[in-house]
């Protein structure tokens, strides 16, 4: 995780209000937490209709509305719905994502999804985000914790915040976990996404920030193994060009990612927050031990996923 900053990111009011909304019934009969979301399948976002099943899920999202349709970090239900529509074809038809074990995502409380990272460009993060919104029950929006340069990227930085992405400062993650949110963290960081093809499915430097956060804030960690992304866009070289804060400029072998098939595997929740005392978050040896437990679980999921898949594109 990047070095902490002390302030949260403020979000300006939306220039445009979404259509009237109402809550949809939970399939299991339980009431959903209040959320700002489209009310029906007929809702349209940017001219694109939202399928009924996805509209119902968005309507059940629990978003901490700060009074103007956005949560304190900029997350907005209408933008989540828009992302489900726009990126749905990538998820369903191009990468044809198969989800395994999403029931392991806790229904409530502070959760950290810790996943392997790869693929030159972060399509794995997008596919994991879509998969959680589609398959968690009740539906949750995972808050991707990004390197600090990501929210400031031109054009996409604002959209990322609307979809729940936050910069990796201690203040941000503390607020989110204490509010019972679900975080999405890639402990390998840019080292993982930029690994050479020869190192595919070999976990790189495993940073320990997720373990420290889980111990300090009593969170559960769900290990996630993503199979498929390693082959989507083999990297030929990296240029030492620092643009917009990114550490390098990747040179991929293909102009666009290959239509590999994604397999996303969720492991059994690891009760890091229960197994350690909060004060142990300041003990480097304990934090490393907890992080190694998560790393071993992710590695096991990758081995399982690789053994079960029939091919890169199937």
| Cα–Cα nearest to 84, from 137, 125, 48 | 48
Which pLDDT score, from 0 to 100, does residue 90 have? Answer: 97
For residue 61, the model assigns a pLDDT of: 92
Give the model confidence (pLDDT) of 191-226 as tens digits. 777 787 888 899 999 999 999 999 999 999 999 999
**Domains within the chain, CATH numbers bracketed:** 28-85 (no CATH), 87-308 (3.40.1130)
| φ/ψ of residue 104, rounded to 5 | -75, -10
Of 159 and 275, the structure prediction assigns the larger pLDDT to 275
Report the candidate in 238, 240, 258 with the shortest Cα–Cα distance to residue 195: 238
Element (H, E) at 226: strand 220-227
Mind listing the pLDDT tens digit for each residue in 20-37? Answer: 433 333 333 333 333 333
Q: 229 near 311, Cβ under 8 Å? A: no
- Can you read off the two tokens belonging to residue 265? 């595997």
CA 40 to chain centre: 25
Q: State the residue for tokens 């719905």.
A: 81
Residue 142 contacts residue 184 (beta carbons within 8 Å): yes
pLDDT digits (tens, 9 = 90+) for 64-113: 987 888 999 999 999 999 999 999 999 999 999 999 999 999 999 999 99
Hey, what are 107's tokens?
A: 């229904």
* Coil vs helix vs strand at 2: coil
pLDDT of 165-184, one tens digit each? 998 888 999 999 999 999 99
Tokens 């209000």, residue?
17
Would you tell me how many other CB atoms lie within 10 Å of the CB of residue 157? 16
Within 8 A by CB and 6+ apart from 73, the residues are 8, 9, 11, 143, 161, 164, 166, 172, 176
Give the Cα separation of 220 and 120 in Å (integer). 29
Q: What percent of the chain has pLDDT over 90?
A: 59
Copy the structure tokens of residue 73.
Answer: 């970090």
Q: What is the per-residue pLDDT for 10?
A: 44
Which residue do the tokens 């907005």 mark? 76
Task: Report pLDDT digits (tens) over 227-237.
Answer: 999 999 887 77
Q: What is the pLDDT of residue 48?
A: 54
Helix residue spans in the chain (DSSP H): 52-59, 77-86, 88-89, 123-135, 157-162, 170-178, 189-193, 209-217, 272-275, 284-308
Integer Cα distance of 44 and 297 in angstroms: 41
Q: What is the pLDDT of residue 310?
A: 94
């Amino acid at each position: 995780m990047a070095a902490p900053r002390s302030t949260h990111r403020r979000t300006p009011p939306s220039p445009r209000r979404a259509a009237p909304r109402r809550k949809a019934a939970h399939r299991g009969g339980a009431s959903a937490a209040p959320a700002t979301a489209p009310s029906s399948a007929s809702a349209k976002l940017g001219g694109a209709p939202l399928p009924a099943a996805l509209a119902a899920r968005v309507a059940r999202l629990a978003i901490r509305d700060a009074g103007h349709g956005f949560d304190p970090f900029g997350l907005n239900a209408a933008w989540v719905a828009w992302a489900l529509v726009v990126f749905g074809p990538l998820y369903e038809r191009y990468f044809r994502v198969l989800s395994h074990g999403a029931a392991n995502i806790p229904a409530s409380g502070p959760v950290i999804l810790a996943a392997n990272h790869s693929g030159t460009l972060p399509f794995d993060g997008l596919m994991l985000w879509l998969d959680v919104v589609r398959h968690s029950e009740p539906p949750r929006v995972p808050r991707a914790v990004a390197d600090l340069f990501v929210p400031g990227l031109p054009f996409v930085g604002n959209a990322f915040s609307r979809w729940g992405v936050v910069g990796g400062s201690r203040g941000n993650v503390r607020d989110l976990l204490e509010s019972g949110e679900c975080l999405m963290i890639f402990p390998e960081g840019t080292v993982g996404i930029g690994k050479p093809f020869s190192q595919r499915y070999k976990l790189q430097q495993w940073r320990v920030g997720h373990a420290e956060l889980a111990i300090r804030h009593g969170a559960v960690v769900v290990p996630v193994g993503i199979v498929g992304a390693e082959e989507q866009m083999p990297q030929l070289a990296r240029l030492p060009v620092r643009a917009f804060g990114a550490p390098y400029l990747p040179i991929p072998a293909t102009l666009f990612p290959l239509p590999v098939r994604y397999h996303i595997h969720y492991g059994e929740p690891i009760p890091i927050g229960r197994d350690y005392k909060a004060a142990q978050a300041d003990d480097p040896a304990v934090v490393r031990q907890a992080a190694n437990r998560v790393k071993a679980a992710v590695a096991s999921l990758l081995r399982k996923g690789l053994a079960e898949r029939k091919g890169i594109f199937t």
